[in-house]
Structure 1
Amino acid sequence: MIKIGHNSLHRYLLGNVSDEETVQIIKWVEENPKHAEELKSLGLIYDATIWNQDKNTSFQHTFSLKQRKRRIIINISKAAAIFAIGFLLNSLIQYIGSSTKMQSLYTPPGQRAELILEDGTKVWLNANSRITYPSSFAQNHRDISLEGEAYFKVTPNKHRPFTVNASGYKIKVLGTEFNVQAYDKKKYEIDLIKGSVHVTTPDKRVADLKPGKRLYFDNNNIVKGEITHPEHFQWRNGLISFNQETLQDIFNKIELFYEVNITCRNKKLLKSHYSGKFRIRDGVEHIIKVLQIDNNFKYDINPERDRISID
């Protein structure tokens, strides 16, 4: 029987545990339903959202949130075993087997997943995203496909280059750590944390990136710059973060995360700048309600059409 202390569970809820500890906690949860309930109860303690609005002064709101019931889906096949804890919206996925068949994992809007590929490469998959990969890589290359956003921590192997194919772009690495956002060709960005990457565009243009740099495409032009807001990668820990972004940019991000359409008739409102963070699992309506506190706007949600109207 695996023994897990409260200190380890607390650090897990805060995202401050190692990969090995994460595996042990998942196994501990699966041992006994009571363990899952214990972790869920502890999770309620940390279930809060902080939101800052930047005007002439800074306002901070802390909200205690009700825990939503979510289904726990366990799907075990010959090629993969997926362990899901619904209330954390975080999946640890371990793949076993020698089959070369292609596998595909999709994360629905408002959820995220974490998986370990056959070579030991670790991948965090953001909401409304899909990754396609072989259950066993070839001897001389490692190719995967991405739709949406993912954070990669690639296992080094100079004899087997790792290539991410996303929206017609090819990102080639040997061993590195980087984030890719490729929901569509108009919204494409690469942020390099460690190592180096070589990017080839759909029209065969090439670009190399160094650590601490970002690359994005604006009006079909390749633009390089510094990574100025690393907190944007907090989506790996279940957070949507904003740093001096306009409400228009925030709505655009919400639309990607939750696959909804937001229309706002108040154009002046869209130019307001904000900084803050939300938990992804709390859902789009919670975010809209929090924004409403400082702006006093009216909104209407049509769940059948996935549409939100703001006046």
Structure 2
Amino acid sequence: MNNSTPILSDDLLARYLASTATREEIEQVQAWLDASPDHLDELKGYRKLWARSGMMGSQQPAIDTNAAWEKVRSKMQGNEVPDVAEAETLPLPARRRFSPAMWAAAVVALLAVGFGWFYFYNTQSPKMMSVSTQENTLEEVLPDGTKVLLNYNSTLTFPEGLAGDSRSVSLEGEAFFDVVPDAMHPFIIQANGTEIKVVGTSFNVKAYDEAVRVDVKSGKVEVRKSVKVMELLPGEGVEVQSDTAFVTLSANPNAAAYGTGVYDFRAAQLGEVVKSLSQGYHAEVKLADEALAECRLTGRYEGESLDATLSIIAESINMTVSKKGNSYVFDGPGCR
């Protein structure tokens, strides 16, 4: 430094270059620069040495200014003369007072940026998840705790986290739903153009083709297609055949037997029995004579194999059951 003028301490210059000086210290450096035009050239040279020492632009949270200044000073003692002509111009700190209007503008800008990020993160389409079956059944627990039992050849699609104002899923195939209650976030199923809306209930939805069937076990279910809406209670069912054709049915108590393995028949016609068994066991069960369809059966069968279940039923109604090819066939004298 120039010995004809007061010399600032090494520590002060180091803090100034490292941008850690206090306001008073910045004012001292400013006064020193104002005292002589040569001081600016000297500071430019020191800044270039500082940069070559690898200390400028550091992203570390804390800077050891003493060590940095020692590194610069060692270069100076090694007769490395700063090239003032090539040195970068050092922007000098400026004191600025912000008016109320400027503060208000800054606040508005920060709010706008914050809202922009909030809007961005909350309007992005969530990642879609799906679970599928082929020749198997599958039980899936959704993020909200709702249990879904998928039948053969079925696919359930839902947004990751199942977040949003409504818990919306789509179904292709068949599934039994046991929905966790949440009055603020209704559970909605889209199936072949039909919407099934619930809050907390258990029910079965079959949507393998255009027609959609809903059987309610508990709670209340709203079924909608186009402008037509129907509300179902426990024990009720409906088959939606078109925008306006809603066929009201009694709920099939064995609609979910494909997953539970439980078949409960109460004076059920044999025609309905073989239909339920065919669907639940994914096998072909038939009657040798359509006249046998009117026979009635009462019984509960749980966790049995298809062969065992058919044998028990045949014995209880005085019939025989045989396997012909891939089909099981009931035969007998008929009902008395």
Partner residue of 1:153?
A: 179
In the alignment, which of 209, 216, 224 is matched to residue 191 of structure 1?
Answer: 216
Contact (CA 8 Å) 2:190, 2:196: kept in 1 or not? yes
Are the aligned partners of 1:234 and 1:241 in contact in 2 as well (CA < 8 Å)? no
Separation in 2, partners of 1:301, 1:129 = 29
Tell me the SS of whatever aligns to 1:212. coil
AA in 1 matched with 2:206: A
**1:259 & 1:155 partners in 2: Cα distance?**
32
Conserved in 2, the CA contact under 8 Å of 1:133 and 1:145?
Answer: yes
After TM superposition, give the deviation of residue 235 of structure 1 in Å.
6.9
Give the counterpart letter for 2:234 in structure 1. Answer: G
Give the counterpart of 1:120 among 124, 141, 145: 145
Per the alignment, residue 130 of structure 2 pairs with 103
With over 3 angstroms needed to count, the CA separation of the structure-2 counterparts of 1:284 and 1:106, relative to structure 1, is same
Q: Separation in 1 of the partners of 2:241 and 2:159?
A: 34
Alpha-carbon RMSD across the aligned residues, in angstroms, is 3.3
Of 288, 295, 299, the match for 2:318: 295
Match of 2:246 in 1: 222
Is the Cα contact below 8 Å between 1:165 and 1:171 reproduced in 2? yes
Structure 2 gap ranges (5+): 1-125, 332-336
Higher-helix-fraction structure: 2
User: Contact 2:194/2:212 (CA < 8 Å) preserved in 1?
Assistant: no
State how 1:36-75 maps to structure 2 within 5 Å.
none
Cα distance, 1:255 vs structure 2: 1.6
Which of 166, 183, 186 is matched with 2:191 structurally? 166
Q: Partner residue of 2:48?
A: none
Question: Could you tell me which amino acid in structure 2 is paired with residue 251 of structure 1?
Answer: V
Q: CA deviation at 1:257?
A: 1.3
Q: Which amino acid counterpart does residue 102 of structure 1 have in structure 2?
A: M
1:285 aligns with 307
Given that 2:283 and 2:327 are in contact with CA atoms closer than 8 Å, whether structure 1 keeps it comes out as: yes
Select the structure with the greater relative contact order (CA < 8 A; seq sep ≥ 6).
1
Q: Distance in 1 between matches of 2:129 and 2:324?
A: 38
Q: Which has the higher strand share?
A: 1
1:73-88 to 2 correspondence within 5 Å? none
Q: Which amino acid aligns with 1:216?
A: V
Measured at CA, do residues 144 and 187 of structure 1 come closer, stay the same or move farther in structure 2, by a change above 3 Å?
A: closer
**Could you tell me which residue of structure 1 aligns to residue 274 of structure 2?**
251
Question: Are residues 267 and 231 of structure 1, via their aligned partners in 2, closer, same or farther at CA, if it must alter by over 3 Å?
Answer: closer
Q: Find 2:156's aligned residue among 131, 136, 142.
A: 131
TM normalised by structure 2 equals 0.50
Q: Distance in 2 between matches of 1:134 and 1:284?
A: 37
Q: CA deviation at 1:164?
A: 1.1
Percentage identity across paired residues of the two chains: 20
Matches of 2:176 and 2:291, distance apart in 1: 33
Check whether the contact 2:264–2:299 (CA below 8 A) recurs between aligned residues. yes
Specify the code of the residue in structure 1 equivalent to 2:236.
Answer: R
